[in-house]
Structures are given as structure tokens and as C-alpha cells.
Amino acid sequence: MKKLYSFLFILLCFSLSFAQQEPTVKVPITIDDGAGASRTMFFGLDTLGTDGIDIIFGESDTAPFPPAGAFEARFFLPENNFAGTLGSYIDIRNAPSFPFTGQKEFRLAYQPGLGTVINVRWNFPHNQVTGVLQDIITGTLINVPMADSGMFTVTNPVAFNRLKMLINFVNVIPVELSSFSASVVGSSVVLNWTTATELNNRDFEVQRKTDNTDWQTLTSIAGAGTTTEPRSYSYTDNNLQSNTKYYYRLRQNDFDGKYSFSQIIEVDIDAPKDFNLEQNYPNPFNPSTNISFTLPYASVVKLSIYNQLGEKVEQLVNQSLEAGSYIYNWNAKNNSSGIYVVELQADGYKASKKMMLMK
């Protein structure tokens, strides 16, 4: 029976840990005493947030403050008008829906360790999170605007051992996508997008469809989590069919499973005018190189690699392909250094290029 209780206890702890998730908005703030002791805490918003302890977001009631001389910093939660009966290193409040605009009050409590001051440091998402840092006595003895990155030093942390942050959230969304564009390069589409800010951004899924197919996910590209710095992303979709219209969109995923879609952009792929075999790149290469060619109409294609003796060492393509531009990669890791020839045959067209493998 004792073993059963132990197993159930472990299972319960695992379940509680597994159930935790990231809130939709999570903003860091760091408190230090100028002598090496510091703590980074987090405040934010979620549709599941409350004024109490939200275990799902990693909040937990802290122990009583340690004796004077030991560094400590925490949030006091709103229970009983911020009486200090509930403390946590994370404070996530409720937002009915997103985008969210509104003001929330957060309370900081702290005491220095070896230091004689308290520094409050912040790095807020530009134009989405701003606020004011005030004393809790009159709100005028300390009254410091908070925006972007900044710091305030409390020179008398014994007298001012608590502060309030009146935080304004303005049209807060997990990710502010500032641009999303596509350009055609042969039979490839290069997608580029930038973000102005990111809040709890897990990743971007690049999705594509045509007039005859439904949306499919091509790849997933990791996001930057939470950042106030602009970020740039890119993805290349290769070997697309000519005379076809493609549609692209981004699905942005938060850490907690919430997601949103970008606008849809359309791209037309036109057929090449001629058969053409391009010089491989890079050249010389080790151990792999890219070989590209174009087809003005559907053809049976053979793309072959020969050594200096005229022996075929690789058959990259031997099939019917639609009109378009194609790129194939040849990995020569099992071949020795030397000159190789790539040959393209397609509907009476024949061309070759020399390639140099240097190991």
C-alpha cells in the first residue's frame, strides 16, 4: 500500500507539472540589490489568468520574507487589496480576449541583501506595454515612466520596500508581424517576413495551397519567444509547378497552444521559355553541390553524373517532369576528388557542364 501511495504521489506531481503552460503574454522584470543578488520575475496576461495563484502558469505562494540582510523580491498578488498575504514570482492576470487593451496594477516587494539599493530593470515590447512605477504611499514620491528598456534605482529600499506598477497594455497580441512578402526565383518562391515584437512566440508554420489543394504545412520555423527587437525570417519553397497560382500564409503558434494566421499572399509561377542547364553551385564543391535546370514544357528528363572515364556514377533524375525550374542536390561524399560531368537530356535537348570535386 505504501508503494501505491508513493506511485500516486509521483503521478500527481508529474500531472501538475505537465499541466503547466505558458501564458499568452509574459513580460520579464528584474530586481537586484547592486551587490550581485538578483531575481527575474514575470508578469503578463492570459484568458485563464486570475488575481489569485494560477498553478497552470507556474505561480505558487512564496514563503514569508527572510530576515533582513537576505535578498528577496516578489510580486504581491491583488488578494485583499494587495495585503501581502499572497506572494509569487509570476503574476498573470486575466484578459478576456486578444488583442487586449487595458490597465493592470502589479505590486513589487523586495529587500536588499549585501547591497544598499534596489534596481528595477525592465524591457517592454515597444508600444504594446508601457506603464508607470510609483510608491504605494502617495504615488508622487516615486513616479517613473516605464517604456521600452529602462531602470530605476530605489536609494532607500527600507523606507520604500514596495512599489506599484500601473501597466498599460495596448492592443497586445502575441506577435506583431510588420511585413510578409513573396518573390519568385525560377520555380521557387522565397518568403520573407519580419516581426516588430514577439510575445511568447513558439514558432511559425509556413502553409501553402493551390486552387486544387487544401492548406498544407511546409515547415516550422522557431520563433524568438519574447523580444522587443525586430526579427527577420525567410523560407524558400522549391521545385514548384509552372503556370500555377500558389497561396501562402503563416500560422503563428504560442507556447500555450494558441495560434493566429497572417494574411494570405498569392504567387503566380510562369513557365520558363527554354530548356537550360545551369552551372552547378558551388563549384568547386565538397561534398555537395546544387544543379539547376529549366523545362519550357513537360518532358521526360534524365539528369546524370559521369566521371572522367565516362562512367555513370549517379542518376539524379529519370522521370517525367512538368514545365518549370528545378534544383537537385548531388552529394559526392562517396566519390573521390576530380572532374565530373553533369548531363541533362530532355525531349531532344542535351547539355552538359563540368564540375570539380575538391576534398
Per-residue pLDDT of 71-122, as tens digits, reads 999 999 998 888 878 999 999 999 998 778 999 999 999 999 999 999 999 9
Question: Do 175-269 and 276-357 fold alike per CATH?
Answer: yes
Q: Which residues of 2-25 are buried (b: 16+ CB within 10 A; e: fewer)?
A: eeeeeeeeeeeeeeeeeeebbbbb
Q: Which CATH number fits domain 276-357: 3.30.300.30, 3.30.70.240, 3.40.50.2000, 2.60.40.1930?
A: 2.60.40.1930
- Whole-model pTM: value is 0.54
Q: Which CATH number fits domain 175-269: 3.40.50.720, 3.30.479.30, 3.40.50.10710, 2.60.40.10?
A: 2.60.40.10
How do residues 156-209 score in pLDDT, each as one tens digit? 999 999 999 999 998 876 677 778 888 888 778 999 998 877 877 899 999 999
pLDDT at 292 over 90: no
Tell me the chain's radius of gyration from C-alpha atoms: 30
Residue 183, helix vs strand vs coil: strand
The lowest-confidence range among 62-71, 137-146, 183-192 is 183-192
Find the angle CA(343)-CA(344)-CA(346) to the nearest 5 degrees.
Answer: 150
Domain boundaries, the chain: 2-172, 175-269, 276-357
